[in-house]
Structure 1
Amino acid sequence: MATKLAPSPISAFHVIPPIFRALKITKAPGLVPGIHPRTNTSIFGEYLSGFRPIFKAKGTEQTSGLVGDETLAQNKTELYQSLEGINRGIFGIPSAKKSEIEGLVKQLEYQNPTPDPTLNLDKVAGCWKLVYSTISVLGSKRTKLGLRDFISLDDFIQIIDVAKGKAVNVIKFSARGLNLLNGKLSIEASFKIASKSRVDISYDNSRITPDQLMNLFRKNYDLLLGIFNPEGWLEITYVDDTLRIGRDDKGNIFILERSEEISP
């Protein structure tokens, strides 16, 4: 039987666009980049001095839409290549790799084909799988949750129901030594449109199933929920038919790809 516990207000893991956090966008379009010492502004939003947007401003001559499409496809390919072998970044990555990924994310954000995502929620609806997040579980947190040797993190899934204004983040686990026990943490949240690119997210409830897995996490349940709870706001900075990028109110980046999985 699923167990429901009310969380204490702890910083959230916006998987919801983190997962769901991925639904929130930053200025440079989940689902807001960090503070930079010097920025310039273009029709594509703010960008670092010395970093040039991919496209020319309106009114300037462009070669063809095909060139832009090819550049976008190439940037997506490079981003996926940079994400190989890092396990979604959940247990930390070198700072150079983190900077590389953020640079590729910014290039895609400047090319966002859906600049007003909350006005095109059909692009956001459905099931998504987290492929990268700047949220990480390190040190004593990882040890307390048994994520070093005993419990493994599997898929992070987010299901967004636009009609109901609901999102469900599902974090799957497998526990070694218990006949490979499989289970999941499900976090349900509501969202409301705050702007053309941002949504406000509020926590509804959570549960861990089966009970055996809940018993493993019971002592540190608040810690677990504090990491993955999506509450806050999320800016959707990029979304197309297969990829979504978001930034949350804590400055985290979330990258998700569309998934065929439909059940939470």
Structure 2
Amino acid sequence: MIEKEWQKNMFQGINRGIFGIPATKKSEIERLVKQIESLNPTPCPTLELEKVAGCWRLVYSTISILGSKRTKLGLRDFISLDDFFQTIDISKSKAVNVIKFSAMGLSLLSGQLNIEASFRIASSTRVDINFENSTITPDRLMNVFRKNYDLLLGIFNPEGWLEITYVDDTLRIGRDDKSNIFVLERFDDSNNT
């Protein structure tokens, strides 16, 4: 099990990398991720899916929303991104990604984007992922994103494959077919509503 101290220090103040980070910080994180992946205690994670099941919170991703994408989505001044969660139900071969949003000063527009996907084991480390559906709640928030909903889904759509490169009781790292890295920590979902 990797100590959580590295997470607190490494990811502090970067907002999960979503809005970009300096190249030196990105290189430092990616170097550390490679070191952690080399210590993977679960070399065949799809053969031990119970270690992957449950709720996870995203702490870092190389997916970024920059420039015109950020402006088109209204994220510059109006909407901020809050927590990102992923719940994996291995009995149904389903994953639900929940991206929480809030509108500054307008709690009526706080809500979330839910993206549901199914997965199929492709190898001892890889799953193929198929997008199933998505929703934004409440409807008022959907109205904010309706014009650029395809752009929003294009950024967060999980379709493709995911290589699980590290998993223990508290940490999971994956890499997808779009060359993105995802670092997630296990989360007690009893409070995640």
Give the TM interval when normalised to the shorter protein: over 0.9
- Out of 238, 242, 246, the residue aligned to residue 166 of structure 2 is 238
Deviation of 1:180 after TM superposition, in Å, equals 5.0
CA distance in 1, matches of 2:104, 2:156: 22
* Runs of 4+, deviation exceeding 2 Å: 76-80, 176-181
Cα deviation digits, residues 97-138 of structure 1 (max 9, x gap) = 000001110111110011100000010000000000000000
Is contact 1:193-1:199 (8 Å) kept?
yes
- Displacement of 1:175: 1.1
Query: 1:78–1:104: 8 Å Cα contact kept in structure 2?
Result: no
Q: 1:79, CA displacement in angstroms? A: 4.2
For the pair 1:131 / 2:59, whether they are aligned, the reply is: yes
Residue among 116, 124, 127 paired with 2:44: 116
* RMSD across aligned positions (CA): 1.4
1:162 aligns with 2:90: yes
What is aligned with 2:144?
A: 216
Matched, 1:196 2:113: no
Task: Please say if 1:94 is aligned against 2:22.
Answer: yes
- 1:251 match: 179
Partner of 1:149: 77
Deviation at 1:77, TM superposition (A): 2.8
Question: Is the contact made by 1:79 and 1:105 (CA closer than 8 Å) also made in structure 2?
Answer: no
Q: Which amino acid aligns with 1:86?
A: I
State how far apart, in whole Å, the 1-side matches of 2:49 and 2:106 are.
Answer: 41
Instruction: Name the count of aligned residue pairs.
Output: 192
Q: Under a length normalisation based on structure 1, what TM-score does the superposition of the two structures give?
A: 0.70
Q: How many angstroms apart in 2 are the aligned matches of 1:102 and 1:89?
A: 12
- AA matched with 1:226: G
The higher relative CO (CA closer than 8 Å, separation ≥ 6) is in 1
Match of 2:12 among 84, 93, 103: 84
Letter in 1 for 2:154: G
Q: Which runs of 5+ in 2 are unaligned?
A: none
For residues 82 and 170 of structure 1, what CA distance do their matches in structure 2 show? 23
SS of 1:82's equivalent in the other structure is helix
Q: Counterparts of 1:145 and 1:258 in 2: how far apart (Å)?
A: 29
- State percent identity of aligned pairs: 74
Return 228-237 or 76-85, whichever deviates more.
Answer: 76-85
Q: Structure 1 residues 176 and 79, CA, compared in 2 at 3 Å: closer, same or farther?
A: closer
Q: Match of 1:216, SS? A: helix
Please report how far the alpha carbon of residue 81 of structure 1 lies from its aligned counterpart in structure 2 after TM superposition: 1.2
TM-score normalised according to structure 2 size = 0.95
Q: Which runs of 5 or more residues in structure 1 are unaligned?
A: 1-68
Per the TM alignment, residue 179 of structure 1 is displaced from its structure 2 partner at its CA by 3.9
Q: Which amino acid is the alignment partner of residue 160 of structure 2?
A: G
1:82, distance to aligned residue in structure 2 (A): 1.1
Q: CA deviation at 1:139?
A: 0.3
Partner of 1:7: none
Give secondary structure in 2 for the equivalent of 1:230.
Answer: coil
How far apart are the structure 2 equivalents of 1:147 and 1:223? 13
Letter in 2 for 1:129: R
Greater radius of gyration (CA):
1
Give the C-alpha shift of residue 80 in structure 1. 3.5
